Structure 1
Amino acid sequence: MSQEASAQAPVIELAGATKRFRSARGGVHTAVRDLNLTVGPGEFVAVVGPTGCGKSTTLSLVSGLEPPSEGRALVHGRPVDGIPAGVGYMFQNDAVLPWRSVLDNVATGPRYRGASKADARAKARDWVERVGLGGFEGYYPHQLSGGMRKRVALAQTLVNEPSVLLMDEPFSALDVQTRGLMQDELLRLWSGSGAAVVFVTHDLEEALVLADRVVVMTAGPATIKSTFTVPLERPRDAEEVRLTPEFLAIYREVWESLREEVQITRERGAGRAA
């Protein structure tokens, strides 16, 4: 991220954001509490934390899928009171429509936003090429591998040129090699777009490979425990960067913070089982 970008007003801001849900037994469950986070234009922030700590809830507050119980969620300086314009959301389970071809899946977003069929398909064709699926435009999802489906999902999200990109463990179901390829693909396509990214993952290596900053969340009810700047130059190769001394040093530093929260979650789970 450039100094110019960091000096601009944040694209995403959570200020004292807390989210509570009604539990099945009629009580109140606090998913996240007092979240304070800003993400600037063109900045890539990864969020890590123990299982069930509220990482996905954090994305829901930014996307407008859930309103905060307390505090504020803002996108482009405006309170989030619905799904904000310019937000792209990529989930763990892709939203590829099985009855539509690759091309028509990617064209769905532009069509929904009012583009003519011809313009939407032209834009979709360009993005299908960009994600490396040229020649597969007429294929249907059941004819694609898991990695190819993820490429379709990525094209579906990026074809709308979002200014905010929210990603909830999008590559977690892929094998290790395919996951590395998709990480490289994401970095290549995001670079220069100016989009602010919040990427939720359980995989600390993935977070460090991709992000400018890594946010560590506490065991639930989660708040932000610490934030680390990733001192790795861009552009990055997802596989090669893992072998550098700089990567190993920042990995140890972040893991020391994260490990404590993972241990707390494990101990809580063991106590409930007993």
Structure 2
Amino acid sequence: MTAPVIELRSATKRFRSGSGGVHTAVQSLSMTVRPGEFVAVVGPTGCGKSTTLSLVSGLEPPSEGQALVRGENVSGIPEGVGYMFQNDAVMPWRTVLDNVAAGPRFRGASKAEARKRAEIWVDKVGLGKFGGYYPHQLSGGMRKRVALAQTLVNEPEILLMDEPFSALDVQTRALMQDELLRLWSGTGAAVIFVTHDLDEAIALADKVVVMTASPATVKATFEVGLDRPRNVEEIRMTREFQDVYREIWQSLKEEVDKTRERSSAGV
């Protein structure tokens, strides 16, 4: 098998709390992602899913254990990592085209080369006619397409996505999920996709990782044996999808219930 491009080895992350105590966000967390593999991470609210991405991206170092990219300990942001956040990172004073060109320019591309690459990706995400528009002139779904183009224009080997579609309405969200699969297919990029939506996780991923209630660790990992290419709306109707959903939900529900009980008890 291909060596993992991402690996967490018994990684623990602690933060200093506002009261002066210590909060453990993730504990003894181990997982691997291979090139071209799409891994979705699900778990109860506040369990530390986003912290997992921070460890891989180098935004936060582990307090214990290791975070490795391409077999090397992560120190700083590794080369070839694209990060798509829940909130858009578009710059309101720049046009769609200039927003997408900013990444290549930052990485040393000439103005002409950056613009050429941006034009290709703006067209790929279906915004070819809107290159001169500003973010305030776009719908929420269109802004997400800009954010996706911003991320993919740099051809990342690793794609980290932190609930990127959660603010969208149901129909637009499904369109963006299909768009992501279309654009990711064949790139060979390894993906970690954090979501609260189990439907979304199964529809997109090769593998779903279920996290425990806080402090989070990996409770279980499920293979999603659904054929590709996928249409996310159609695949949800299949018996195979429903079977996978029931299996994973049994594991996830226990952790969601634990979080609710703690919240009710004021813990």
TM-score range, shorter chain: over 0.9
Instruction: Find 1:171's aligned residue among 165, 170, 173.
Output: 165
**Distance (whole Å) between structure 2 residues aligned to residue 89 and residue 208 of structure 1:** 21
Equivalence for 2:59: 65
Summarize the alignment of residues 1-274 of structure 1 with structure 2, pairs less than 5 Å apart. Answer: 7-272=1-266
**Distance (whole Å) between structure 2 residues aligned to residue 150 and residue 23 of structure 1:** 33
Equivalence for 1:4: none
Aligned-partner residue type, residue 11 of structure 1: V
User: Alignment partner of 2:230: what SS?
Assistant: coil
TM-score by length of 1: 0.97
Paired residues, what number?
267
User: Alignment partner of 2:54: what SS?
Assistant: helix
Aligned-partner residue type, residue 49 of structure 1: G
**Distance (whole Å) between structure 2 residues aligned to residue 103 and residue 54 of structure 1:** 35
Q: Deviations over 1:4-60 (max 9, x none)?
A: xxx111000000100000111111110000011000000000000000000000000
Q: Deviations over 1:80-133 (max 9, x none)?
A: 010000000000001000000000000000000111101100000000000010
**Distance (whole Å) between structure 2 residues aligned to residue 64 and residue 80 of structure 1:** 6
Aligned-partner residue type, residue 224 of structure 2: V
Structure 2's unaligned 5+ residue stretches are none
Aligned-partner residue type, residue 60 of structure 1: S
Equivalence for 1:3: none
Q: CA RMSD in A?
A: 0.6
Between 205-214 and 19-28, report the one with greater CA deviation.
19-28
Aligned-partner residue type, residue 198 of structure 1: I
**Distance (whole Å) between structure 1 residues aligned to residue 29 and residue 93 of structure 2:** 40
TM-score by length of 2: 0.99
**Distance (whole Å) between structure 2 residues aligned to residue 69 and residue 54 of structure 1:** 14
Aligned-partner residue type, residue 80 of structure 1: V
**Distance (whole Å) between structure 2 residues aligned to residue 11 and residue 154 of structure 1:** 22
